[in-house]
Structure 1
Amino acid sequence: MTDAQTARTEITEAEIADQLRGLGVAPGCVLVVHSSFRAVRPVEGGPAGLIGALRAVLGPQGTLVMPSWTGNDEEPFDPWTTPASSDLGIVADTFWRMPGVVRSEHPFAFAAIGPEAEAVTRGPLPLPPHVHDSPIGRVYDRGGQVLLLGVGHDANTTLHLAELLAGVPYGVPKHITVWSEGRAVRVPYRENDHCCLRFGPADGWLRERGLQAEGRVGHADARLIRSRDVVRVALEFLERDPFIFLHSPSEGCADCDEARSSVGG
């Protein structure tokens, strides 16, 4: 831990809740959260304290949703025991383990608690992961909000939904492993996958239109946007250029180059 981190003042759960309200988190809404606790901390109660503040602001009629996928393509997913991918952070991995939280039964899982939790998380394996009939698509259908907490739009899975709704032409070969008739089976699919760094300009697109609230939550920069606004604005730009989220060939990004090379293959 750096000197700057050790000098940070611990923020109480109540203070976090006030910050979330000030940002515009709506009581009773469906809220999907992508987070970096490293950016937010220290918080009273740790990751569980942050989750408590989110639930307090949403209230009993609100539904809290977080990504909870495995990140392991080679082994079948068990919703009761498989850890969330380390890329998702400690808040996401803490959340699915908490009492009352439900988790998707497929490896592209989300976890949720609240009145809409079952409706958001349940359903068949979505291929590719963020099609309309997926947890992130169901948040979109319910007019949900997206909270980016200490992370940027490169972590915003709703932009992958927008790509699929736009019908982007790229899709790299992937596979996932599932249980089928008592044995592990590899399932191939194509995914609109790339490095995601070119999702960053969505900041400016949304800010210019007054569609993105920004502020501090804990010690982190936070962004709050309606899922439908993310998709609507992204579709505007994808209609002009379906490759807008990929680095150009001259920029030397292997992931984006692979996505480009998939077109017509």
Structure 2
Amino acid sequence: MSEKTDRPLILKEDIIAGLRKAGLKAGASVFAHASLSSFGFVMGGAETAIRALLEVVGPEGTLMMPAQTWKNLDPETGVHWLEPEAWWPAIRENWPAFDPAVTPSIGMGAVAEMLRTWPGSRRSSHPARSVCAAGKHAAYLTENHDLSDIFGDDSPTGRLYKLDGQVLLMGVGYDKNTSIHLAEYRADWDKPMSREWSAVYREGKRERVCYDTIAVDDSDFVALGKDWDSFAGIRPVLVGNAEIRCFDQRPFVDWSARWITEHRKKTAPGE
């Protein structure tokens, strides 16, 4: 007996059509963020999504997605909120060191994790904020990911800017849009700094490394995205239950840096 479902059936051809309608270009280098479950029932799951993405950008294109391992940060930052504080020393001494070839991404979704393991995919070496990429510019986007330059000008996100790439949001909102962090780096505001620790392998041995970076803040990303949609006339394309947005990264980052400067500018005492 068949059962009723409110989940639409999504085929690869549906995703391809939606991506092209949203504006994803052949030959593009694109930073994609995706929630597979938001679509409905995708026939073939994450594999189908990756095949659709790679087919649209084609052999001259590049697909990049987040492969972050943010639990490889000191528990004092709050990333191990489910574990008691009494365990923190053990976490510091025993959390597995980052191995680009082995360490799974955390919370990035099934599509991003599929790309991480895709044949020919490359991954940047940042122990907490890595990305993975496949295609023409994968090596350039992922090489030499500096510990302190997590989302800055010479990070994978900054290098996508130099390639005049695109941003793709598939069933996720602007709170998942990593490119806004590049705008944070570039904006004129009172940037707070953060000292972070992560476990890495050096000469085959586990070692904790310390690095300083700006403390990014995504609390206003949804408001920023709403204003960007209005400013740029973004009209999401619906595929199943998922909204797809695609736009050029460079004008978006430039606009977002101005938005952040205006909305986060330091307020003088007494104002």
| Structure 2 length-normalised TM | 0.81
1:95 equivalent to 2:82? Answer no
Residue 176 of structure 1 aligns to a residue whose secondary structure is: strand
Task: Give the whole-Å Cα distance in 1 for the aligned partners of 2:223 and 2:229.
Answer: 10
**What one-letter code is carried by the residue in structure 2 that aligns with 1:45?**
G
Cα 1:16/1:54, change in 2 over 3 Å: same
1:108-140: CA deviation from partner (whole Å, max 9, x where unpaired): 221111111111111143414112111111111
Distance in 1, Cα, partners of 2:196 & 2:173: 25
- 1:101-250, aligned counterparts within 5 Å? 101-107=121-127, 108-166=129-187, 168=189, 169-193=191-215, 196-210=218-232, 212-242=234-264
Distance in 2, Cα, partners of 1:153 & 1:53: 22
Q: CA offset at residue 183 of structure 1?
A: 2.6
The question of whether the paired residues in 2 share the 8 Å contact of 1:24 and 1:213 is answered with no
SS at match of 1:88: coil
Deviates more, 1:100-109 or 1:63-72: 100-109
In structure 1, the partner of 2:23 is 24
Q: Give the % identical residues.
A: 32
Aligned CA RMSD, in angstroms, stands at 2.1
Alpha-carbon separation, structure 1, partners of 2:58 and 2:255 = 29
Offset at residue 7 of structure 1 (A): 2.5
Q: Which amino acid aligns with 2:109?
A: G
User: 1:176-229: per-residue Cα shift (whole Å, max 9, x none)?
Assistant: 222224332222233444562311112232222225341113421122121112
Alpha-carbon distance in structure 2 between the residues aligned to 1:167 and 1:203 = 19
- The residue identity in structure 1 corresponding to 2:224 is A
Q: CA deviation at 1:153?
A: 0.9
Contact map agreement 1:16 1:218 (CA 8 A) in 2: no
Which protein, 1 or 2, shows the higher relative CO under an 8 Å CA cutoff with sep ≥ 6? Answer: 2
* CA distance in structure 1 between the partners assigned to 2:28 and 2:99 by the alignment: 28
- Equivalent pairs, count: 240
SS of the equivalent of 1:201 reads: helix
The TM-score, its normalising length taken from structure 1, stands at: 0.83
Does the aligned pair in 2 maintain the 1:29–1:58 contact within 8 Å? yes
Q: Secondary structure at the match of 1:111?
A: strand
- Unaligned 5+ segments in structure 2 are 73-94, 267-271
CA contact (8 A) 1:126 1:134 kept: no
**Residues 201 and 186 (structure 1 numbering): CA distance in 2 closer, same or farther, change over 3 Å?**
same
The answer to whether the Cα contact below 8 Å between 1:30 and 1:139 also exists between their aligned partners in 2 is: yes
Partner deviation per Cα, 1:46-99 (whole Å, 9 max, x = no partner): 1100111111111111111111122232432111111011x2111111111111
Higher-Rg member (1/2): 2
Structure 1 unaligned segments of length 5 or more: list them.
245-265
* Distance in 2 between residues matched to 1:59 and 1:132, nearest whole Å: 26
